[in-house]
Structure 1
Amino acid sequence: MHTQSRNLTVLAALLPLAAVAACGSQTVSVGSTPVTGVRWNVESVTVDGATAQAPESAYVEFPSADRARGYNGCNSFDAEAEIDGDTIRIGRSTVTMSMCMDKKQRDFEKTFSRAIGGSNEARTDGDHLTLTTDDGDTIALVKERPAPLTGTEWTVTSLLSDDVATSLPKEVAGRARMTLEKAGEAGKDGAATGSLGCNRFRAKAEFRDGHLTLGRPVTTRVLCQGPRMATERALLKLFAQKLSYEIQGRTLTLTAPDGTGAVAGAGRG
């Protein structure tokens, strides 16, 4: 039976990331496997000998050696953490308070919440990470493979300006999307297609030396108002120039030389 009290404080919303961001970005490993800066998808959770399979969306990540955050299939959490050798301690946590309608999600959330807090023995095996509590409960995780740059539909979630990310207005959320295609045979050019939040577009795309260059886009001519048009104008500035790109898990960051850019997430198949 469970006797250890889990140190979880439930709040209505997550603390702002700026307030909980850790200093430094040094990679921390368990054994020879880096555990920070990696998105770990939850495979299953075992509590009191009973194993529950995780929803596909559940994950845990350690952005630094003193933070843990993730999603339990129903709510997001952000917690204090400490990685010391093969021990990972999860401390006080803030948790969103969404009410999931699916009973399986609610049941898994309860199981996950019992297992995630306190001191855990960490064991790695290739792309797998297992956290085991003092009570013998376990969380089985597997490293998420980065989404491929091409062939993935990327949905823009925020705009960048000098390393500051601003979420898209709700009127535009989910509307701005882009799919990249590499050059094919017979001289076919690479391409970028999708929606700018208002109009659809197509443009040439060139991949070279870790950079992406988007040509001038051909767009439809719908006239949108307010946030949709403002977002479209901001995204249009990323065309006709060389962009640096970075993929972390299922997140793509595009950055122009002047520090502007966009952050996008990959949809799950």
Structure 2
Amino acid sequence: MKRTTRVKCAALAAVGTTLLAACGTESGTGHDTIVDGEKTTSTTGIADVEWVPQKVTVDGKEYVLPKNAEDAHIGFAPGTADPDVGGGDSGGSVGCNSIGADAEIDGDTVRITDLVQTLMGCPDPLGAFEAQFTSVFEGTHKAKVTERDGTRTLTLTSQEGDTITLREKAPPALKGTRWVIDTKAHLTLGKDDTVTGSLGCNTFRGEAVVKGGVIDFGRLATTRMTCGPAAMKTERELAGILSGKVSYQQKRDSLRLTAASGESVTARAE
């Protein structure tokens, strides 16, 4: 659901693709503190991260995300406040309906406005959790980020004192994940410096060594099935990209592979 997010850094109106991470320590909590093994960190960098709701507290009563809410996720993506231009993908789901909203992040203040959602019926306890989440989510919040054992937790506290607690979702591992390019083509990088997958028609395997932002593909051994002209053309193009030293950029569940020729392909974690 396309919504918008505005990001401000201290007194600067920094709107667009530059995230809070580029604002240094001007915004947020300033410096880290550690209490009982839990580190309170700066609120910089909460945008463009996938967060999983954990619980909502309303009037002192706690509502915990049900175990069957496997698809729950909330994100604050960069964008523009002008709906005619388009915006980010702020919002997500708590496991039932899709939620969209405009979000503005100004230091440790997060403002959620213009919340909309689909209208599917959700059985309890998921329905009850979603109702409480959306009732608190829209509004102005103070954000606090804590970290324990490498996992970050984001707490949003409303002006009424209600809270939403979210945990950062770890990105999929580069190795061992099935990266899907289209409905048929995919690849999996092994921990033993191998790669297996499909070019869309023929399957393949070979050597692939990951080092310093580069994947060095050895010669791929493929099956020799004959497919239609369009499929074979796509296979040749993909095989050309998965050859030699290929740079990669992983952003959450997206993996972009760029060959020395400049040709590239983007895959999604499955």
The alignment's TM-score, normalised by the length of structure 1, stands at 0.70
Residue identity opposite 1:30 in structure 2:
G
* Residue aligning to 1:15: 2
Gaps of 5+ in 1: 1-13, 157-167, 184-189
* Residue aligning to 1:58: 72
Written as runs of structure 1 = structure 2, the 5 A alignment for 1:79-158 is 79-93=101-115, 95=117, 97=118, 99=120, 104-126=125-147, 127-156=152-181
Cα distance in 1 between the residues matched to 2:256 and 2:162? 37
* Residue aligning to 1:250: 253
Cα distance in 1 between the residues matched to 2:228 and 2:125? 41
| 1:82 Cα deviation from its structure 2 partner | 1.1
Residue 27 in structure 1 maps to residue 38 in structure 2: no
Cα distance in 2 between the residues matched to 1:227 and 1:74? 39
Aligned to 1:119, the other structure's residue is in SS state strand
Cα distance in 1 between the residues matched to 2:240 and 2:63? 50
Call closer, same or farther: CA 1:202–1:24 in 2, change over 3 Å. Answer: same
Call closer, same or farther: CA 1:115–1:256 in 2, change over 3 Å. Answer: farther
Cα distance in 2 between the residues matched to 1:16 and 1:40? 17
Between the two proteins, the alignment pairs up a number of residues equal to 227
Gaps of 5+ in 2: 5-14, 22-26, 30-41, 81-87
Identical aligned residues as a percent: 37
Residue identity opposite 2:56 in structure 1:
V
CA deviations 1:42-80 (Å, max 9, x no partner) are 222334424131523212222238753333323444432
Written as runs of structure 1 = structure 2, the 5 A alignment for 1:92-241 is 92-93=114-115, 95=117, 97=118, 99=120, 104-126=125-147, 127-156=152-181, 168=182, 172=183, 175-183=184-192, 190-225=193-228, 231-241=234-244
| 1:177 Cα deviation from its structure 2 partner | 2.4
Call closer, same or farther: CA 1:108–1:231 in 2, change over 3 Å. Answer: farther
Cα distance in 1 between the residues matched to 2:55 and 2:230? 41
Check conservation: 2:65, 2:126, Cα contact below 8 A. no
Call closer, same or farther: CA 1:47–1:201 in 2, change over 3 Å. Answer: farther
Check conservation: 2:20, 2:47, Cα contact below 8 A. yes
Cα distance in 2 between the residues matched to 1:225 and 1:239? 21
Cα distance in 2 between the residues matched to 1:195 and 1:152? 14
Residue identity opposite 1:254 in structure 2:
L
CA deviations 1:61-102 (Å, max 9, x no partner) are 22238753333323444432111222100122454x484776
* Residue aligning to 1:72: 94
Aligned to 1:64, the other structure's residue is in SS state coil
Aligned to 2:135, the other structure's residue is in SS state helix
* Residue aligning to 2:32: none
Call closer, same or farther: CA 1:231–1:41 in 2, change over 3 Å. Answer: farther
* Residue aligning to 1:262: 265
The alignment's TM-score, normalised by the length of structure 2, stands at 0.70
Residue identity opposite 2:78 in structure 1:
S
Cα distance in 2 between the residues matched to 1:232 and 1:75? 38
RMSD of Structure 2 on Structure 1 (CA): 3.1
